[in-house]
Structure 1
């Protein structure tokens, strides 16, 4: 009886562990943004206190607005302060004056002094 209880317990732990490790990917497009900022605002926050800012935004969905300073097929840089990586190639023709992007904050690059977002989408 003890042997079966241990086997069932181990199987349950294996299933729980598998589900924890292999969670479904987040769909940033359907998530609500927790923070809405300009590129200058978020950059200034990291200039003042990078550690607390990183803890505040890490793995959160945020919206950033500003003007485009650099564009590649799968990424955009906003005001040289926010790097936004897209999952697919950008299909839209973009106006460089003003853009609003939603994405997941993944970190801050101290060397380039840039906020990094991934899974980005363009908000019209």
Structure 2
């Protein structure tokens, strides 16, 4: 009987911990302060020079990048052909290609094939 109660208590504790872990609050990148502020060519060159070192430095951190728009889609922007910025919501601002903008987002990785730094949860800063 004691063994069954012990197993039941341990099972309940594991379920509570698992539920809490799975239902963590999501990060609000838009309202987080940027850890790094730079232009798109600087972050791209750091990934090109040493990918593993740059990943250790930037992955999962909020960055604010300045660059020229080289490609524009409804949910994404590419800066200087080096940084791909994925937006959660469709882009509503009137943005022209080749215009300079400032974008804040979370670094999620580097694409070796396209040689682009990938950001998600991006927002356009109006400065």
**TMscore range, shorter length:** over 0.9
Once the two structures are TM-superposed, the CA of residue 17 in structure 1 deviates from its matched residue by: 1.4
C-alpha distance in 2, partners of 1:62/1:70? 20
Number of equivalences: 124
Once the two structures are TM-superposed, the CA of residue 3 in structure 1 deviates from its matched residue by: 2.8
State whether structure 2 residue 13 is matched by structure 1 residue 12.
Answer: yes
Match of 2:87 in 1: 86
RMSD: 1.3
State the 4+ residue runs in structure 1 displaced beyond 6 angstroms.
Answer: none
C-alpha distance in 2, partners of 1:13/1:37? 43
Once the two structures are TM-superposed, the CA of residue 20 in structure 1 deviates from its matched residue by: 1.2
Match of 1:68 in 2: 69
- Structure 1 residue runs of 5 or longer lacking an equivalent are none
C-alpha distance in 2, partners of 1:73/1:55? 31
Once the two structures are TM-superposed, the CA of residue 35 in structure 1 deviates from its matched residue by: 0.8
Secondary structure at the counterpart of residue 33 of structure 1: coil
Per-residue Cα deviation, 1:1-46 (whole angstroms, up to 9, x for no partner)? 4432331221111111122133222111111111111011001101
